[in-house]
Chains A and B, each alone.
Chain A
Amino acid sequence: MSFEPKIVGFLCNWCSYAGADLAGTSRILYRPNIRIIRVMCSARVDPTFVLKALAGGADGVLVCGCHPGDCHYSEGNHKAMRRFPLLKKLLADFGVEEDRVRLEWVSASEGQRFADIVNDMTERIRALGPSRIPGLMQADRIGR
């Protein structure tokens, strides 16, 4: 069977979730590989969530928030903007491939942009292959 990437998406309630909704209501076809979790703000995405998704077997994690300057809480997406590069640095130190985790700004009017991002991310992760994290953890438990 061919590999279908499992992507967990954390979408902010005010812009990106509405953008994803617009992609749906506009009947834009895009890859069904993303599982969307609505959060109130991209700043609500604790780095723990991303690590937990990866440790639990996700092949990729997408975080989407309002464009900088458009945050419903005025500063939230700036916090996400600061956290993400450090999280990517941490993941690189763990040996996680860069393309598996991504932060994007998607407004409520950008249904097509959301669909394009999901398509692009799905194909990049398909090229990387399945995440090795669950397999290694399983192997660690069995053999020393």
Chain B
Amino acid sequence: MAEKKLQIALYWTASCGGCDVAVLDTNEFILDVAQLADIRLWPIAVDGKYQDVEAMKDGELDLTLINGAIRNSENEYLAKLLRRKSKILVAFGSCAHMGGIPGLANLARKDEIFTRAYLNNPSIEPGNQKTPCPETRIDGEILHLPQFYKRVYKLKDIVDVDYFVPGCPPAPNQVKAVLLAVVKGDLPPKGSVVGASELTVCDDCKRTKAEKKVKRFYRPFEIIQDPEKCLLEQGILCMGSATRSGCGVRCPNSGMGCRGCYGPTGNVVDQGAKFLSALSAIIDSKDPQEIQEIINGLPDFVSFAYRFSLPASLLQRSLRT
């Protein structure tokens, strides 16, 4: 091969692995990627050690995709290391883009999370009171674990990010488009959200939309839904109006309200606030007490409004610390 192969890395920080699977979901296209590029680090699929990355020259990698939020010292170290070694760094998927599902941990304190995960969880053996410590001494040796942070950060809070690919996970055709754009050198201005639309999910949603007036909200299992009609008009929570499109309207097409994983559209600062604004405006009442009762039918509203975007919101975290 005459041309030098692209040097790429894929890495996961605080994430579930779904974004890596989304890359694999491009099916045989992944073999074309392997033809065009050397995959230098991809913990879920190929070998490659942190020491190998440390040994690279700065800027040796052409492209790194990081999926996942930043919530411990290992995440932060690798994000900074890969930033240094990469010409282009992409925040890939909702967690890297906005904090994602792990970002909801910003509503709880660190000690509450540890108590829940390691002490009070029903699946823990009775009497087991072990919690992870950053440093453990065994037989004269010191063992280290990453330091768990007080809150979750989005990738951009920690390092400079060149592009954002939203989605939980990003749609496979968008993954393809992004990789091909890098191969061709056909890149938008730095800081762009790529692999997505500038419009909202509602713009692409085929359901019929009329005037919205809602007397109560339903969880999806509480109502037999009309498959043609806008979900929000039926009282089923859907974040489509506050969410960037590009996903192919996968959730509303399957009878589920949009969860907002693609984040807000370009000019919106705070996705949850925009959703709050749109949602409460359709409440069909002028009586403060009735309005309050309808709103009481929205349990844990903060987690819904900021399901994927809490660390990227204006307040970012609960004050109960």
Most B CB within 10 A of own CB, among A54, A78, A136: A136
Q: Which of B111-160 contact A (CB under 8 A)?
A: 147, 149-151, 153
* CB-based nearest A residue for B300: A93
Contact with A along B269-282 (1 / 0, CB 8 A): 11011101101110
A82→B302 contact, CB < 8 A: no
Nearest-CB distance from B303 to chain A (Å)?
A: 8
Is B321 interfacial (CB 8 A cutoff)?
Answer: yes
B73→A95 contact, CB < 8 A: no
Using known A-B contacts A51-B270, A90-B305, determine if residue A144 contacts B315 with beta carbons closer than 8 Å.
no
Contact with B along A89-104 (1 / 0, CB 8 A): 1100111100000000
B320→A95 contact, CB < 8 A: yes
Is A86 interfacial (CB 8 A cutoff)?
Answer: yes
Inside 8 A of B273's CB, which chain A residues have their CB? 46-48, 51
B301→A55 contact, CB < 8 A: no
Interface residues on A, range: 20 to 34
B269→A85 contact, CB < 8 A: no
Q: In terms of DSSP, what is the predominant structure of the interface of chain A?
A: helix
Q: Give which listed residue, B281, B303, B305, contacts A83 with CB less than 8 A.
A: B281
Using known A-B contacts A47-B273, A48-B269, determine if residue A137 contacts B316 with beta carbons closer than 8 Å.
yes
- B interface size (C-beta, 8 A): 41
Inside 8 A of A94's CB, which chain B residues have their CB? 107, 302, 315, 317-319
Nearest-CB distance from A128 to chain B (Å)?
A: 12
A90→B316 contact, CB < 8 A: no
Contact with B along A60-94 (1 / 0, CB 8 A): 00000000100000000011011101110110011
* CB-based nearest A residue for B279: A86
Q: Give the CA-CA distance A68 to B59 in the complex, in Å.
A: 61
A82→B285 contact, CB < 8 A: yes
Q: Give which listed residue, A51, A86, A133, contacts B280 with CB less than 8 A.
A: A86
Inside 8 A of A82's CB, which chain B residues have their CB? 280-281, 283, 285, 291
Inside 8 A of B277's CB, which chain A residues have their CB? 46-48, 83
Q: Give the CA-CA distance A46 to B271 in the complex, in Å.
A: 12
Q: Give the CA-CA distance A94 to B106 in the complex, in Å.
A: 9
Is B81 interfacial (CB 8 A cutoff)?
Answer: no
Is B249 interfacial (CB 8 A cutoff)?
Answer: no
Inside 8 A of A54's CB, which chain B residues have their CB? 314-315
Nearest-CB distance from B313 to chain A (Å)?
A: 8
Using known A-B contacts A82-B281, A86-B280, determine if residue A136 contacts B319 with beta carbons closer than 8 Å.
yes
Q: Give the CA-CA distance A48 to B147 in the complex, in Å.
A: 34
Inside 8 A of A95's CB, which chain B residues have their CB? 318-320
Using known A-B contacts A55-B314, A89-B301, determine if residue A83 contacts B319 with beta carbons closer than 8 Å.
no
